[in-house]
Amino acid sequence: MQVVATFAAAREAAGDGVSGLVPTMGFLHEGHLSLIARAAAECEVVLVSVFVNPLQFGPDEDLDRYPRDLDRDVELARRAGADVVFAPSVEQMYPDGHATRVSVDALAGTLCGRSRPGHFEGVATVVAKLFGGLQPDRAYFGRKDAQQLAIITRLATDLSFPLAVVGMPIVRERDGLAMSSRNVYLSDQERHDALALSRGLMRVADAVAAGERSGTVLERLAADEMCEAPLVDPEYAELTDVANVINITRLDRPAFLAVAARVGSTRLIDNVHLDLVGDRFVPDRGVRIADAGVVRGGG
Ligand code: AMP
């Protein structure tokens, strides 16, 4: 395993084999590790980038307190099957004079784009740089960030990056909470109330499996659960078309039901993708970690 800080060193360390890239902001958990493990199963060489990207944080967001622990990340990435960890400094990623921004405006104005202006431009810019600088054959992203995944899928197509974008199921704690580096901010009571997000989404999944197709009904199932939790301040619950990231009133195409809420001072997001398989809608409830997860119990 090599830890490198420049694009040139990362390309040299990766060599010529079929390569998979897992972009992250570090403080790895089982969600990240599931992407690394899949990349290791499908590729000859796996690159993991660890970079807290200032461009995607708003002025009042948590850039300064975002959790960081590179040594731990390197060890976890190695155990999950990574060959190269690319951990550049901000100055290496954005040297003086860096002027280019990438935006996918058509998909970035809804959901999180409304409350986080500039966020997806920051994401698209850094991902385009990773794609261009590392030239992976495959790139792995979590369905946890559904709008981000849609934007990156479109970016790769529109900018003709010759790679496959792979979306992976949400990894959840045993009680259903979607894993997130930001979960460390939650107090015990907030952690308890935060379960309302996934509980509502599992109700949505049940309703879809039972034949419900009304956007209003599905959105209310998710919203009602959040409204009942005292420490949860809901931001949105929206049935959303996967391809265009627009709100839809009926489930009649591949979609996801996305929620966002503030729990105390922490902003959380979660979703359930509703995949069209043949003529049936199949909810992707994600996967729950086993008792001995790689991070906590895995030795
Ligand atoms: P982040 O470090 O939060 O920027 O996330 C890096 C990658 O890991 C993104 O593609 C995320 O969608 C993915 N990811 C984060 N949390 C999860 C999760 N709970 N399950 C699956 N993928 C995740």
Compute the distance from residue 217 Cα to the ligand 1 centre, in Å.
28
Is this model's pTM higher than 0.85 or not? yes
**119 flagged as catalytic:** no
To the nearest 10°, the Cα dihedral for 254, 166, 126, 184? 80
The pLDDT tens digits of the residues spanning 116-158 come to 999 999 999 999 999 999 999 999 999 999 999 999 999 999 9
The pLDDT tens digits of the residues spanning 204-234 come to 999 999 999 999 999 999 999 999 999 999 9
Our mutation pick for probing the ligand 1 site, out of 21, 24, 30, 47, counting the most ligand atoms within 8 A of Cβ, is 24
Contact 118, 58 (CB under 8 A): yes
Our mutation pick for probing the ligand 1 site, out of 22, 32, 36, 126, counting the most ligand atoms within 8 A of Cβ, is 32
Amino acid of residue 233? D
Contact 216, 91 (CB under 8 A): no
Catalytic residue among 29, 32, 119, 273: 32
| Ligand 1 atom with minimal separation from the 182 CA | 3
Contact 231, 263 (CB under 8 A): yes
